[in-house]
Structure 1
Amino acid sequence: MEKNNFSKYLFLLGKILFIHLTFSAFSINAQAKIISSIKPVGFITEAIAYDVVETDILLPDGASPHSYALRPLDVQKIKSADLVIWIGKDLETFLPNILKNVDDREQLQLFGVKGVEALLYSDEDEHDHEHENEESEHEHEHDHEHGEFDTHIWLSPEIAKAVAVAIHERLLILFPDKKVQLDANLSSFLSQVTETEQVIAKKLISVQNSGYFVFHDAYGYFERQFGLKHLGHFTLNPEIQPGVQKVYQIKQQLLKEQAVCVFREPQFNPAIIDKVISGTHVRSGILDPLGMDIPVSKDAYTHFLNTLTQQWLNCLNDKE
């Protein structure tokens, strides 16, 4: 008798748990949510959506958009989102297949935004000061990874402001009753970024003549805006190791003391950088193009810009 009562108790408990989990899942999915593909886009999204709608990010810290594969949880996030914000197929190669089944009203592809398109430029325009004998390799890698334009648009504060305007316009459609808050968020973001640009420009004047190499060629927009002396890169696609000729060319330039720093990224730690700088006076630094250690908040994007600036200064400033 006691055994039967215990079985009934377990059955009843199971039903209660099932109902609770079902309603909890329904409640979560019923909440509006905006999904950003990568963290820097999420920084901008959170600034505009602050106190209006919950935001989330697909790409986990430490992952690269160049090689990421969607998990079942990611697919569920996308399907339940009110809006998915991403850059384009040449960066987030993991998204086009699933987003082709998502209504255009439920996604915002930033490469298709007029205010963003006007500020894009191609990789061929990006580093005119690099060696001409690297051109064929550059174009080959470029075609593989980026398509026609440089996809790292979040590294341009000017493009970030255009992105914010586009997100604001889309959120106004979704939440017209939140116009006052959305307008205030946009105004605050634009002012913050403009002020931060001015501060960064002053800080970086002291290192504009300090040459450097980067592992991954991702920083063109930032470098162009602030007049930094990019001498070259190891690779355009961080998933592809640089060739022997490329490494030899960089080593020769380092030996001629044309550079003071070689930057790596926290998402990638290629041993080849340590080998290349050995026997030289060149320093090694870290640039994080994804803001891996920065928490998402309404002020995160300007925090990201300031952190990136300090990473440049840490390695390029003369410490001797």
Structure 2
Amino acid sequence: MKAVATPIVATFAASIALLMAGTASAKTPDVVVSIKPIHSLVASIMKGVAEPKLIVEGAASPHTYSMKPSNARAIQNADLIFWMGPNMEAFLDKPLDALAGTKTVVALSDAPDLQKLPFREGGPFEAHDHGDGHGHDHGHDHAHEGEHDDPAKGEDAHEPGHDHEHGGFDPHVWLDPINAKVLGREIAKRLVEADPEHAKQYEDNAANLMRQIDELDAEIKTTVAPVKDKPFIVFHDAYQYFEKRYDVTVAGSITVSPESLPGADRISQIHKKVTELGATCVFAEPQFTPKLVNVVLEGTPAKAGTLDPEAATLKEGPDLYFQLMRGIAESMKTCLSDKG
């Protein structure tokens, strides 16, 4: 006897088929991001769709990071990988090169309209121009997004043991919010290409991110305005994007990169600079020993502070970028203030 499907059974089967088809089509790409500041921007744009995975977690620094087996599995299983590029995450250079042609790997340092600045040579930086009495002339105009002046001329820093073979630009580009917006637009574009079904969500999230960054930018200008003419020293030369955007007075760095510790001559130069300028503050970073900062401070009235350009102390997620930028601004205001 031939079995006849009842209307109820047929309807149920059709519903299951539709559900399975919808589930398959709604699969989002597996997204992996190298470092916290970039992960935060990606997570903001992926809100309501999925959460990207992070490689350099916790207080680890991309400057000294070594790949773990779990990281290798994550990038092997990923559909889309975001990183800044070999100037920042040298540890990913060979692993990602081995995946060429099999994964979509996005080096955000190649994003169109991104303002990139060369590393500076030596410990003490060139004096700022106060000739007009109205701040510093950095030749860095963001009045029209996408129409940047050429970066300040300068040589790549080549300290012993530190190799800038990949082009010699400072990769901490996110410390200028205008650059963060450029990165956000590139991230959204790549997500839409990889996952067109969620294009509207990505685009809406990106538009909201742009508004939030504009508000953050205005807030930081107000925060640092009272102390922007006070000279200070940083642990490594990671802040020139922040410096040029907000006109603050970074007078020198203890090291160009934490990968290579400075010699006695450089420490002596920086100590002399602190004394000559009456530098108000010398900033350490949470991932690295403060011993060198203490040596620079010895015998001077300068105070010690902490800046966290790579968000070592912050919890990953969409809010991290905003916490990072506000934290830098507040630390500068606190340490450079005459009070305390």
TM range (shorter): 0.7 to 0.9
- TM-score (normalizing by structure 1): 0.83
- Residue of structure 2 equivalent to 1:261: 281
- Residue of structure 2 equivalent to 1:288: 308
The reply on whether 1:140 has 2:161 as its aligned counterpart is no
CA shift, 1:255, in A, is 2.6
SS in 1 for 2:312: coil
Matches of residues 151-162 of structure 1 in structure 2 within 5 Å?
151-162=171-182
- Residue of structure 1 equivalent to 2:339: 319
CA shift, 1:179, in A, is 1.8
Q: Point out where structure 2 has 5 or more consecutive residues left out of the alignment.
A: 1-26, 129-152
SS in 1 for 2:185: helix
Would the alpha carbon gap of residues 158 and 236 (structure 1) be closer, same or farther in structure 2, given more than 3 Å must change? Answer: same
What is the one-letter code of the residue matched to 2:226? S
CA shift, 1:44, in A, is 0.7
The 2-side partners of 1:317 and 1:278 are apart by 20
The 2-side partners of 1:269 and 1:55 are apart by 31
SS in 2 for 1:309: helix
Q: Point out where structure 1 has 5 or more consecutive residues left out of the alignment.
A: 1-29
Farther off after superposition, 52-61 or 102-111: 102-111
Deviation per residue, 1:295-318 (Å, 9 max, x gap): 233232122211111111121111
Aligned residue among 91, 94, 97 for 2:94:
97
The 2-side partners of 1:317 and 1:110 are apart by 36
Deviation per residue, 1:194-218 (Å, 9 max, x gap): 1110111111110111110011111
What is the one-letter code of the residue matched to 1:139? A
The structure that is helix-richer by fraction is 1
- Residue of structure 2 equivalent to 1:165: 185
The 2-side partners of 1:125 and 1:197 are apart by 28
- Residue of structure 2 equivalent to 1:177: 197
Aligned residue among 109, 118, 123 for 1:122:
118
Residue pair 2:236, 2:256 contacting (<8 A) in 1 also: yes
Deviation per residue, 1:172-208 (Å, 9 max, x gap): 1122111221111001100000111011111111011
- Residue of structure 2 equivalent to 1:113: 111
- Residue of structure 1 equivalent to 2:35: 38
Would the alpha carbon gap of residues 31 and 113 (structure 1) be closer, same or farther in structure 2, given more than 3 Å must change? Answer: closer
SS in 2 for 1:76: helix
- Residue of structure 2 equivalent to 1:8: none
Count of aligned positions: 285
The 2-side partners of 1:124 and 1:257 are apart by 19
Residue pair 1:138, 1:236 contacting (<8 A) in 2 also: no
The 2-side partners of 1:285 and 1:137 are apart by 29
Would the alpha carbon gap of residues 87 and 308 (structure 1) be closer, same or farther in structure 2, given more than 3 Å must change? Answer: same
What is the one-letter code of the residue matched to 1:83? L
Residue pair 1:46, 1:296 contacting (<8 A) in 2 also: no
Matches of residues 206-217 of structure 1 in structure 2 within 5 Å?
206-217=226-237
CA shift, 1:103, in A, is 4.1
Would the alpha carbon gap of residues 246 and 85 (structure 1) be closer, same or farther in structure 2, given more than 3 Å must change? Answer: same
The 2-side partners of 1:263 and 1:229 are apart by 13
- Residue of structure 2 equivalent to 1:16: none
Residue pair 2:118, 2:154 contacting (<8 A) in 1 also: no
The reply on whether 1:70 has 2:86 as its aligned counterpart is no
- TM-score (normalizing by structure 2): 0.78
SS in 1 for 2:235: strand
CA shift, 1:125, in A, is 9.7
Residue pair 1:85, 1:110 contacting (<8 A) in 2 also: yes
Say what the alpha-carbon RMSD is for the aligned residues: 2.4
SS in 1 for 2:109: helix
SS in 2 for 1:275: helix
- Residue of structure 2 equivalent to 1:149: 169
Residue pair 1:123, 1:148 contacting (<8 A) in 2 also: yes
The reply on whether 1:250 has 2:270 as its aligned counterpart is yes
Residue pair 1:32, 1:54 contacting (<8 A) in 2 also: no
CA shift, 1:83, in A, is 0.9
Residue pair 2:159, 2:260 contacting (<8 A) in 1 also: no
Residue pair 1:266, 1:286 contacting (<8 A) in 2 also: yes
